[in-house]
Amino acid sequence: MVYLCIGQDPPSKHAFFQKIKENSLPAAVASFNQDTLYARELTLRDLQEKLLCLPVKSAKRLILIKEAQGLKKEVKEFLVRYCRKPSAHIILILDVERTDKYDLWLKEITGLAKVYRFREEIPPNTFTLGRQIESGKIDVALHLLHRLLKEGERPERIIGGLRYAWGKEGTAVLETRRRLKFLLRCDVEIKTGKLPPLLALERLVIGLCATPSLRSSTR
């Protein structure tokens, strides 16, 4: 009676949750037998109290924990023990946005629950940014750039990542030099303080996207 839902497709997840609710809870008392909890606010005591609650005129209760990857350590440890011997009258749904091969807790829960996978958005990286630049998609490339910076990627690592990605492609020498010239100018603008990092990187992306010879070299 434990489900692990992984992915970043809210409409499909919502439809899945609704289906479980409709199949498990009498409509007349559904509101009395369901709880939606948010991981970052959830304490171990609160979770234990919810799990001990008995259903109201129903055989089951439904507990949904949103953003379960953000649970506190003690709550995660308790859930591993709980999932080994779950309550017969509780349907527990753990909602997780994305997989992480280094998350040992998630790996353990995966082996104890029924796993349902939904569409997972691939986290942006400099390789993805480089491909969008080569395609000349300025809006998409700028969006990826802003996401990388928002998620903590440093400007120098973005420049270095693009340099590495393009160096691995075996691009023609003249085109490689052209790209390196753009990257070097951006690096100098940031290090000398001539331009703020964001503005310098935006200028880099727009300049590369608008270079016809760069795009034609990838066809």
Q: Domain 126-216: give its CATH code.
A: 1.20.272
Are 63 and 91 contacting, i.e. CB atoms less than 8 angstroms apart? yes
- 50 Cα distance to chain centroid: 28
pLDDT attached to residue 217: 46
The third-level CATH classification (topology) of the domain covering 2-117 is Rossmann fold (3.40.50)
Q: List the domain boundaries for the chain.
A: 2-117, 126-216
pLDDT attached to residue 179: 84
Give the DSSP letter string of 158-195: HHHHHHHHHHTTT--HHHHHHHHHHHHHHHHHHHTTSS
Please state, in angstroms and rounded to a whole number, the distance separating the CA atoms of residues 49 and 47: 5
> What's the CA dihedral at 153, 13, 119, 11 to 10 degrees?
-90
Location of structure tokens 């709550």: 75
Location of structure tokens 């340099």: 163
pLDDT attached to residue 114: 95
The packing angle between helices 126-134 and 155-167, to 10°, is: 60
Please state, in angstroms and rounded to a whole number, the distance separating the CA atoms of residues 3 and 109: 10
pTM: 0.61
Write out the chain's pLDDT in tens, 219 residues.
Answer: 899 999 988 889 999 999 999 999 999 999 999 999 999 999 999 999 999 999 999 999 999 999 999 999 999 999 999 999 999 999 999 999 887 777 899 999 999 999 999 987 667 788 888 888 888 889 889 988 998 998 889 999 999 989 887 776 555 667 778 888 899 999 999 999 999 999 999 999 998 887 655 444 444
